[in-house]
A and B are shown apart, each in its own frame.
Chain A
């Protein structure tokens, strides 16, 4: 409500927004034409250009890089020219106001010409200055979000081979490992006193999460916890299809156990405040909290095959 930004706008959404704006114009133009008050070609082009700029610059959130913005605007300018010069008639109509200004056909046009002739060089001068003056922006640093895991990790004196290790709490009532158990109980209440064994473990994992992890990863596991605003980069968002949904449970175990310190160089270990949880939790607690994260987000761990 009252927000004009669209979180996580994907290219498809972006195109949809642009298309919607464009068609709004076409429809509006058509209605005005029907009423006998058509918008002149020249102003149509200008309006479309501005609307596109406003959408790209102010509506999209997170904002797109300025280089990309320039590319898009260049394309849009080109398309507009193709549109207005598609036939001789529209080209003439488009040129008409411009030529009138240049010729100073009437006193009105003459004053527009004067204003433009003063404003344009000033604008270009300012643009040049703005380009040359050094800007001190944050250096762009691209990190690998999911670096290659090691073959095995040693946690609390025990070696876990990531390819073969299993979460010991993902079990059915008999205590046997079960891949389907999460699916069967995805809508259960973990606080139900009669909950199945698996759900009891989920609840224990939830308790650990809300004592340790939510400060950064957030009450909704979306990487927006109380401390998240202070971080750069922000904590991982488990509700995004690009994090734990893409990873094997043992990969997550490696990340939880070793934290930011255990990242290879391409993962920027110096910038990650993810604790090496082996300093704070037992391996059992780590497995439970990981299981809770999958249950809570409704994602399933990826398998190795």
Chain B
């Protein structure tokens, strides 16, 4: 009896585990499919002139607007609220009725549902958050009613004389496949001329000098970051979003409509191609960005560490996504940071450790002598009435740095040096590479202290390349150095706090004006212990024995 009980509970467990895998897969795929279908279902069939807003809705919408929206969009909806001058992209100026994310033809006003979706899902990559779960559905509809009636001043949504609504036709969706992606790339490079603005690798580096309808600088999208697409509607990997934007164009920007240039099939191919560029990551539903994994797992490599990032040893590893925020804790403050993430990998052998850092930056920046002369006194304070978006900066060096506690071994966990260049009690060791080719090892002892160069060990950058809007830099250093007071020492199997900085020289980044990550950890992964291979065999043998014993018991029981 006892034996049977054991057997049956195990059985339940096994069947359970197998089935759960199946059910889990089904569940996840259902969700993916339903969201994709929702997007398609959202494509309207008719294009009627919307009715006039009701007075109740206008009043309720106004209350929402003046509590939540006015601070960026301004009291008249001109995109000039108190927060606007420190933002880029700037908040939308509603007055002209120019809206980017629509289902309607180029130049037309959006459908009310388009505006509702924008308020609901926000505009990723800008300061506009998703109001889903913050404002009720009714409030979101009402605030749209208020904006389109009172703040869109130059056009009238309800005027059948002047306005038409021609929703795009999604046609028959072309499922993503290698062939479709290849065709899409072909269109991107040639017929569609997408490459002219978005660049040969589609990192948005084709044309850096464009302006929008309001004469503010605007950059083509970096198509490798689908989580930053303004119109991704909380569903970044859905090609229907790309199809829609390629078809409608983005009003007020240089992005035209391709509805007359490309066939529906070609637009689906382009959409599939664009989505294929975006690394498949788990998206955190609360931030709508890839999840940060705060542990950089350095892998042991036999022989010399490869100095080519395309070496299989680098490429076999999954890179860590490293989110970067603007440094706005101390002056000069970086309100508009242009590099918002980086990808990090690490390898080590018995002598050295190497990091490969890759990040997107539309142009290579090497400091001019005039810029370097003023770097020390550079202040990021926008002059009165002059928005950051219009600032002209001197060109400093593009740069990247990795920061470690100098003495992580003696820190009482979880204590660390302060994130910004350490502090008086706990110093940091910073490896900084700059685009002028210099590599420095620096000791930091506080945000307001000079970084002091030291000569312990030797950091090298055996690979540095800027190509098609992307930097790739390999840092390398011996695991241990002579002067252990100044430089970080590496041992396997320990969590070593690590922090990443990136400077964008064309954004006026220098010194404290930088983008930076939180504290991450590097761990040099020790080899897998032998017992990990031996113990499972014992366990399996034991279970096999148990199975035969239970079976024989059951059979004997039957005979009695």
- Which residues of A are interface residues toward B (Cβ below 8 A)? 1-5, 7, 45-46, 49-50, 53-54, 57-58, 61, 77, 80-81, 94-95, 98-99, 101-103, 113, 116-117, 119-129, 132-134, 136-139, 141, 143, 187, 189-191, 206-212, 214-216, 218-220, 222, 224-232, 239, 259-261, 265, 268-271, 273-276, 279-280, 296
Check A54 against B531 for contact (C-beta < 8 Å): no
Check B289 against A2 for contact (C-beta < 8 Å): no
Query: B45 interface residue, CB < 8 Å from A?
Result: no
Chain A contacts for B297, CB-based, 8 A: 136
| Nearest 6 Cβ contacts at the A-B interface | A210-B83, A227-B325, A230-B323, A207-B82, A2-B35, A125-B536
Compute how far the CA of A94 lies from the CA of B9 in the bound complex, rounded to whole angstroms: 11
15 contacts between A and B (CB under 8 A): A50-B23, A58-B28, A121-B539, A124-B540, A128-B539, A129-B532, A129-B533, A132-B532, A136-B525, A210-B83, A230-B516, A230-B517, A259-B329, A270-B415, A270-B419
Known: A120-B543, A128-B535, A189-B66. 15 other contacts (CB 8 A): A54-B20, A95-B4, A132-B532, A139-B495, A141-B413, A210-B72, A218-B129, A229-B323, A230-B324, A230-B517, A231-B325, A232-B519, A239-B134, A270-B423, A273-B325
Q: How near does chain B come to A141, taking the closest CB pair, in angstroms? A: 4
- Mostly, the A contact residues are helix
Q: How near does chain A come to B383, taking the closest CB pair, in angstroms? A: 14
Give the residue of A49, A224, A279 whose beta carbon is less than 8 angstroms from that of B16.
A49
CB-nearest residue of chain B relative to A210? B83
Q: How near does chain A come to B129, taking the closest CB pair, in angstroms? A: 5
Mark interface residues in B24-38 (1 if CB within 8 Å of A CB, else 0).
100110010011001
Query: B112 interface residue, CB < 8 Å from A?
Result: no
Compute how far the CA of A133 lies from the CA of B527 in the bound complex, rounded to whole angstroms: 10
Compute how far the CA of A174 lies from the CA of B303 in the bound complex, rounded to whole angstroms: 79
Q: How near does chain B come to A300, taking the closest CB pair, in angstroms? A: 17
Check B536 against A271 for contact (C-beta < 8 Å): no
Compute how far the CA of A99 lies from the CA of B41 in the bound complex, rounded to whole angstroms: 50
Compute how far the CA of A239 lies from the CA of B14 in the bound complex, rounded to whole angstroms: 44
Query: B523 interface residue, CB < 8 Å from A?
Result: yes
Chain B contacts for A239, CB-based, 8 A: 134
Give the residue of A1, A3, A226 whose beta carbon is less than 8 angstroms from that of B127.
A226
Check B536 against A128 for contact (C-beta < 8 Å): yes
Query: B263 interface residue, CB < 8 Å from A?
Result: no
Interface residues of B in 295-346 (CB under 8 A from A): 295, 297, 322-326, 328-331, 333, 335, 340-341
Give the residue of A120, A124, A215 whose beta carbon is less than 8 angstroms from that of B328.
A215
Q: How near does chain A come to B391, taking the closest CB pair, in angstroms? A: 16
Compute how far the CA of A54 lies from the CA of B21 in the bound complex, rounded to whole angstroms: 9
Compute how far the CA of A57 lies from the CA of B17 in the bound complex, rounded to whole angstroms: 13
Compute how far the CA of A248 lies from the CA of B126 in the bound complex, rounded to whole angstroms: 33
A46 in contact with B284 given A124-B543, A128-B535, A211-B86 (CB within 8 Å): no
Compute how far the CA of A7 lies from the CA of B340 in the bound complex, rounded to whole angstroms: 25
A7 in contact with B71 given A54-B24, A139-B413, A229-B292 (CB within 8 Å): no
Query: B8 interface residue, CB < 8 Å from A?
Result: yes
Check A138 against B521 for contact (C-beta < 8 Å): yes
Give the residue of B8, B24, B329 whose beta carbon is less than 8 angstroms from that of A98.
B8
Q: How near does chain B come to A2, taking the closest CB pair, in angstroms? A: 4
Compute how far the CA of A222 lies from the CA of B134 in the bound complex, rounded to whole angstroms: 9
Chain A contacts for B341, CB-based, 8 A: 230
Chain A contacts for B63, CB-based, 8 A: 187, 189
CB-nearest residue of chain B relative to A223? B286
Interface residues of B in 508-560 (CB under 8 A from A): 516-519, 521, 523, 525-526, 528-529, 531-533, 535-537, 539-541, 543-544, 547, 550-551, 554-555, 558
Give the residue of B9, B68, B294, B521 whose beta carbon is less than 8 angstroms from that of A219.
B68
Check B331 against A280 for contact (C-beta < 8 Å): yes
Query: B369 interface residue, CB < 8 Å from A?
Result: no
Check A125 against B540 for contact (C-beta < 8 Å): yes
Give the residue of B18, B71, B518 whose beta carbon is less than 8 angstroms from that of A271.
B518
CB-nearest residue of chain B relative to A204? B82
Query: B280 interface residue, CB < 8 Å from A?
Result: no
Chain B contacts for A280, CB-based, 8 A: 331, 333
Give the residue of B8, B71, B532, B558 whose beta carbon is less than 8 angstroms from that of A210.
B71
Give the residue of A77, A122, A212, A220 whose beta carbon is less than 8 angstroms from that of B134.
A220
Compute how far the CA of A106 lies from the CA of B330 in the bound complex, rounded to whole angstroms: 76
Chain B contacts for A224, CB-based, 8 A: 129, 286-287
A211 in contact with B540 given A4-B27, A219-B71, A220-B134 (CB within 8 Å): no
Check B324 against A124 for contact (C-beta < 8 Å): no
Check A210 against B20 for contact (C-beta < 8 Å): no
Chain B contacts for A187, CB-based, 8 A: 63
Compute how far the CA of A219 lies from the CA of B13 in the bound complex, rounded to whole angstroms: 47
Q: How near does chain A come to B272, taking the closest CB pair, in angstroms? A: 21
Give the residue of B81, B126, B418, B540 whose beta carbon is less than 8 angstroms from that of A270.
B418
Q: How near does chain A come to B33, taking the closest CB pair, in angstroms? A: 9
Chain A contacts for B526, CB-based, 8 A: 134
Chain A contacts for B31, CB-based, 8 A: 2-4
